[in-house]
Structure 1
Amino acid sequence: MGYTARAVVTRETGQLPVVETITVDDPKAGEVTIKLAACGVCHSDLSATNGTIGLPPPLVLGHEGAGTIVAVGSGVTEFAVGDSVVSSYITMCGRCRYCATGRPELCDLASKAMFTLPDGTVRTHDAAGKPLNVFTGCGVMAEYATLHTGNVVKLDPRGASMECCALISCGVVTGWGAACNTAKVRAGSICVVFGAGGVGLNALQGCAMSGATQVVAVDKSDDKLALAKLFGATHTLNPDTVEDVVKALKKLTGGGADYAFECVGYGAVVAQAYGCLRKGGMAVVVGVAKANDTTTIRTNSLTFEEKTLTGSNLGGARPREDFPRLLGLYQAGRLKLDELITRRYSIEEAPQAFDDLANGRNARGMIVF
């Protein structure tokens, strides 16, 4: 039977996505179909359109979605029609060594679901009946989407909008988790966050919630730096106003940061994040760089200064634990979500949403169905 849906599709690398009518098949074994209520427009989606993340078009975009289950496939017992859920761009098998040791963001199954469902097929087709790939096994920038249950997390909104729930599933957990899960920021520390977009703002939140006494936001947009103060930044720096970013940050922090978070996706900025650390500091790479991008650091600083350079994927999250945890923090008034949404779009306005994102106009754009 299936479903007809309007969806955001990238068909040509380097071009804005288009909105078209697609068909979404009913769920097979171990799958569910979701009617989407909201989907965030994430920088990773933009990266899939410009070639930074090299996935084959045509590709249904979207991985930061929230909605309601309308159908379940055979063998599905943990979800039911009517459940409120969010998508997770990490497919979790629950059985591999990474899932078993509490690191599902590295699940072996996820690498098999970068542009299809885990079985290598898709449930999406264009008007001509040709298959459409789906971004990270999700493809939730559409009115309906069929996902493997390993990409779905149940939430109890309890007064929270579905827009806020959608944000949790990527932008919030990626930034907040980089600070709270990956770095485990210690109270009283000094933190620097490069990039004050949707992810960077949540890294700032994570640092502030962890008790950091100085939190510096670095961004070329003065508007974003102003917003950063709302999310916990105690100081801001526009790199265009100084000759040497690393020297300026070391002066501002009184000798260097304990933690630095790169939320931009450029090797040169990673080097700045590492360079602004004091001895024993940790730099966490959160942004997604192009496959051929590289970072150069002074090797002996790893030995003599005991610095750490590491990465963070989905904020080192355990989605089925951390997503409800973050929603609970919001419901308790301790986590900002509504303030992240700078503009809402209809599905037909999706190309404009991507243009706004590419030009740095939003902290987070949100498509509302």
Structure 2
Amino acid sequence: MAVRAAVLPAIGAPLEITDIELPEPGPGQVRVRLVAAGVCHSDLSLSDGTMRVPVPAVLGHEGAGTVVSVGEGVTHVAPGDGVVLNWAPSCGRCHACSLGEVWLCANALNGAADVYARRVSDGSDLHPGLNVAAFAEETVVAAACVLPAPDGVPLTDAALLGCAVLTGYGAVHHSAKVQAGETVAVFGAGGVGLAALQSARIAGASKIVAVDVSPEKESLAREAGATDYVVASENTAREIRALTNKQGVDVAVECVGRAVTIRTAWDSTRRGGRTTVVGIGGKDQQITFNALELFHWGRTLAGCVYGNSDPAKDLPILAEHIREGRLDLTSMVTERITLEDIPRAFENMVAGKGGRALITTF
């Protein structure tokens, strides 16, 4: 049976909304009907070539839906179950997994078939972007790519758990390890940044500074937990230091992926401060430090993949925060869209507009 999907025909080309033909799930596979899918900056990075993906491909990696059917050997979910897509399932066998660093699994993106569907119009093979191809009415994924949806969390909200919330929460709690009373600056108030702001509040941060290029995002950031808001400029680091008795924040979380923003986040922290980089930048984004400042400031700079999270362990924790009212997913969504609206959502990302765009009509 054909389903509609957003296909990336070539790197840098416009998405095409077209019918695709999915196979029935084979051994160890699950077919899922999407209820919601978030539009993430990583999808934009795949479409413009910042990150690599075989084309033509169906993008989308942040989603939730209902199991339609399962293949032989699948026992942890059944038809009718609500599930959250896990685009980077760990193999449990590689060196990183043996160290417990499942977010760095060497085989995380090798779980899907090279070709998972065909375009109806011309029979061309399609690749699943980031394993799960969520920009479609339905998808077929490896069983490891689905996790049971948490009880008490609507599937439309649960879609955000698949990337933005795991990443933002993990950046604060796992990578930066924010402690109660510490001061935090979050650079970028998009989907991941809004999750990071809420997570800093949950961690008990005493001051939470949101930084973004758009003045219009201030109310959104403050609702997420920001105590202060700074419109990005060449004076951003100075403004943040002024808000912290000229010391700088304990922790900066960079959710943009630009060299100038990473450097500013670093400059915004105190001596001994910690900067966690979540944003995905291109190879052309070069950052320079001199040897003396590295010694003098004693700061740390760390990359952060998928929030350094283990989805199977972290989803129940996030669900509890949601049920207790500490984490509000609905407030992160500033636009509910259709598949046809994805290009406009990409444009808004580039322009720095809004929080998370969520596909809810397929």
TM-score by length of 2: 0.94
- Structure 1 residue 157 displacement after superposition: 3.7
Q: Percent identity?
A: 38
Counterpart of 1:246? 237
Aligned to 1:152: 146
8 Å contact 2:168–2:196 — kept in the other structure?
A: yes
2:295 to 292, 298, 303: 303
Superposition CA RMSD, Å: 1.7
SS in 1 for 2:51: coil
Question: Which residue of 2 is the match for residue 335 of structure 1?
Answer: 327
- Residue 11 of structure 2 aligns with which residue? 13
Q: Specify the alignment match of 2:192 in structure 1.
A: 199
1:336 & 1:299 partners in 2: Cα distance?
42
Does residue 258 of the first structure (1) align with residue 250 of the second (2)?
yes
* Deviations 1:175-205 (CA, angstroms, capped at 9, x unpaired): 1110011111011111111111111111111
Q: 1:244 to 1:354 in 2, by over 3 A?
A: closer
1:91/1:137 contact within 8 Å kept: no
Contact 1:46 1:358 in 2 (8 A): no
State yes or no: 1:76 paired with 2:69: no
Q: Distance in 1 between matches of 2:273 and 2:217?
A: 26
Unpaired segments ≥5 residues, structure 2: none
SS in 2 for 1:99: helix
Partner of 1:344: 336
Distance in 2 between residues matched to 1:97 and 1:30, nearest whole Å: 24
Q: For 1:175 and 1:135, how far apart are their aligned partners in 2?
A: 21
What code does the residue aligned with 1:55 have?
A: V
State whether residues 109 and 131 of structure 2, in contact with CA within 8 Å, keep that contact through their aligned partners in structure 1. no
Amino acid at match of 1:330: I
Contact 1:19 1:350 in 2 (8 A): no
Q: CA deviation at 1:273?
A: 0.9
CA distance in 2, matches of 1:299, 1:16: 44
SS at match of 1:8: strand
The alignment partner of 1:108 has SS state of: coil
- Please state if 1:143 is matched with 2:137: yes
Tell whether the 8 Å contact from 1:84 to 1:157 is kept in structure 2 after alignment.
no
Counterpart of 1:49 in structure 2 is 47
User: Which amino acid in structure 2 is aligned with residue 12 of structure 1?
Assistant: A
Alpha-carbon separation, structure 2, partners of 1:48 and 1:97? 27
Contact 1:18 1:351 in 2 (8 A): no
What number of residue pairs does the alignment pair up?
A: 359
Q: Is the 8 A contact 1:301 1:307 kept in 2?
A: no
- 2:353 is aligned with 1:361: yes
- Tell me, in whole angstroms, the C-alpha distance in 2 between the residues paired with 1:308 and 1:353: 34
1:272 counterpart (264, 267, 272): 264
Alignment of 1:56-95 (within 5 A): 56-95=54-93
Matched residues in 1 for 2:151 and 2:340: separation?
A: 26
2:273 pairs with 266, 281, 284, which one? 281
Q: Is structure 2 residue 141 aligned with structure 1 residue 131?
A: no
Match of 1:122 in 2: 115
Deviations 1:161-186 (A, max 9, x none): 21110001101111111001111101
Moved more, 207-216 or 44-53: 44-53
Question: Are 2:103 and 1:105 aligned?
Answer: yes
Q: Distance in 1 between matches of 2:255 and 2:235?
A: 19
Could you tell me how far 1:330 is from its partner in structure 2? 0.7
**Shift of the alpha carbon at 1:111?**
4.3
Alpha-carbon separation, structure 2, partners of 1:220 and 1:357: 12
Which stretch of the first structure deviates more once superposed, 247-256 or 298-307?
Answer: 298-307
- Unaligned runs of at least 5 residues, structure 1: none
Q: Which runs of 4+ in 1 moved over 6 A?
A: none
Relative to structure 1, the CA distance from residue 272 to residue 311 in structure 2 (aligned partners, 3 Å threshold; closer, same or farther) is same
